[in-house]
């Protein structure tokens, strides 16, 4: 069985690739490695085909879809600030790139298509826990373009009968989370700060809560959804179904903290309603936050070369965030 993973060199994609190899899939990874890293694939590099191509160019990737049975579409540009600074690039990658992957899939009669969406499409939700039927209120271009990609996937399911499903991930964490690049996910920032002996930069009062989901759990969700061939054209939340405050995360990391200003456009909570995926797919998370954090701390040295963010550098990096999103 041939399976294509776009973005397979990334954080989640590399874990998915390892799982599919164990399931005896013939895995083809398409990744331009602008975010992903070859070292993420070191355990399986001789067992997968790695194609260094960009999904923005359909002609460059189309031939690799020949004979493909399944497509797992994870390739995307992430991060809030860069999307505000360069929305055109995000549109070209997350929307047009998704269109290219869909066209290649249709032309080659792909049997199963899994799209990895983002819970950021909910913006600042009106309801907690947040169900899939909640209003779509994206606050910045990254969230908007991921939602637009999702709309394309659902449209292709309806018009072209593509057997596709969209999974809206909440706050995913775990080994191989990105350690370089722009200011971003809380665990990447905190672990680099802790390893270097610096205080952890807590946004606002730290009472805001997040639904953190361990990477092995989200891979389980992808596989369970993939195996359910009867589910087509639907959306599922993927989260822990629980929340934890940022202050509690700091305590679990046993770190010192320093507070920085609260950012506009961010919800006070992310909290997935996962009742639908539990009922229809039979998936539920296994790794609790304490176990997940212990796993990260056991291998904290991987953050030794990560950028160390300070209040001053964060203020500079998020300047446009405050400028454009402040109401």
Q: Is the peptide bond before 129 cis (omega within 30 degrees of 0)?
A: yes
Query: What is the predicted pLDDT for the residue at 183?
Result: 62
Please answer whether residues 71 and 105 qualify as being in contact, where contact means their C-beta atoms are separated by less than 8 angstroms. Answer: yes
The residue-averaged pLDDT of 46-74 equals 98
Q: What is d(CA 5, CA 53) in angstroms, rounded to the nearest whole number? A: 12
Measured CA to CA in angstroms, residue 138 lies from 73, 100, 219, 327 at distances of 21, 23, 25, 15
Structure tokens given for 292: 């997940």
Q: What is d(CA 22, CA 73) in angstroms, rounded to the nearest whole number? A: 19
306 pLDDT higher than 90: no
93-117, pLDDT tens digit by residue? 999 999 999 999 999 999 999 999 9
Concatenated DSSP letters of 60-71: HHGGGGTT--EE
Quote the mean pLDDT of the chain: 95
> Percent of the chain beyond pLDDT 70?
98
| Span 2-171+212-238 CATH architecture | 3-Layer(aba) Sandwich (3.40)
Which CATH number is associated with domain 178-211+242-267+289-325? Answer: 3.90.25.10
142 pLDDT higher than 80: yes
Measured CA to CA in angstroms, residue 322 lies from 48, 81, 156, 166, 263 at distances of 42, 10, 36, 31, 7
Q: What is d(CA 191, CA 290) in angstroms, rounded to the nearest whole number? A: 15
Query: What is the predicted pLDDT for the residue at 253?
Result: 96
The residue-averaged pLDDT of 211-223 equals 98
In the chain, residues under CATH classification 3.90.25.10 are 178-211+242-267+289-325
In the numeric block, the tokens 């994206």 are attached to 138
Choice among 90, 122, 142, 183 that is catalytic:
142
The answer to pTM > 0.75 is yes
In the chain, residues under CATH classification 3.40.50.720 are 2-171+212-238
Query: What is the predicted pLDDT for the residue at 307?
Result: 87
Query: What is the predicted pLDDT for the residue at 269?
Result: 97
265-288, pLDDT tens digit by residue? 999 999 999 999 999 999 999 999
Decide if 214 is catalytic.
no
Q: What is d(CA 238, CA 217) in angstroms, rounded to the nearest whole number? A: 9
């Amino acid at each position: 069985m041939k399976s294509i993973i776009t973005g397979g060199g990334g954080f989640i994609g590399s874990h998915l690739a390892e799982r599919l190899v164990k399931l005896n899939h013939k895995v083809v990874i398409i990744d331009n490695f602008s975010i992903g890293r070859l070292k993420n694939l070191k355990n399986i590099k001789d067992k997968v085909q790695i194609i260094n191509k960009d999904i923005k160019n359909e002609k460059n990737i189309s031939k690799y879809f020949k004979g493909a049975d399944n497509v797992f579409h994870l390739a995307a540009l992430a991060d809030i600030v860069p999307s505000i600074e360069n929305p055109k690039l995000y549109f070209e990658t997350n929307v047009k790139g998704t269109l290219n992957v869909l066209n290649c899939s249709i032309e080659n009669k792909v049997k199963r298509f899994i799209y990895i969406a983002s819970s950021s499409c909910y913006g600042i939700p009106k309801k907690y826990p947040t169900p899939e039927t909640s209003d779509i209120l994206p606050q910045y271009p990254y969230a908007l373009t991921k939602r637009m990609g999702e709309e394309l996937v659902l449209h292709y399911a309806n018009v072209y009968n593509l057997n596709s499903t969209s999974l809206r991930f909440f706050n995913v964490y775990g080994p191989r989370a990105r350690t370089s690049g722009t200011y971003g996910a809380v665990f990447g920032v905190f672990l680099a700060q802790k390893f270097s002996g610096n205080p952890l930069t807590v946004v606002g009062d730290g009472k805001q809560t997040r639904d953190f989901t361990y990477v092995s759990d989200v891979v389980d969700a992808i596989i369970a959804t993939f195996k359910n061939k009867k589910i087509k054209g639907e959306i599922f939340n993927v989260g822990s179904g629980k929340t934890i405050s940022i202050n509690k995360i700091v305590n679990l990391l046993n770190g010192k903290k320093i507070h920085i200003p609260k950012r506009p456009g961010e919800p006070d909570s992310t909290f997935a309603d996962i009742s639908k995926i539990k009922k229809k797919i039979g998936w539920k998370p296994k790794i609790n936050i304490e176990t997940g954090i212990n796993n990260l701390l056991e291998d904290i040295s991987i953050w030794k070369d990560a950028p160390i963010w300070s209040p001053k550098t964060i203020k500079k990096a998020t300047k446009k965030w405050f400028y454009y999103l402040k109401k």
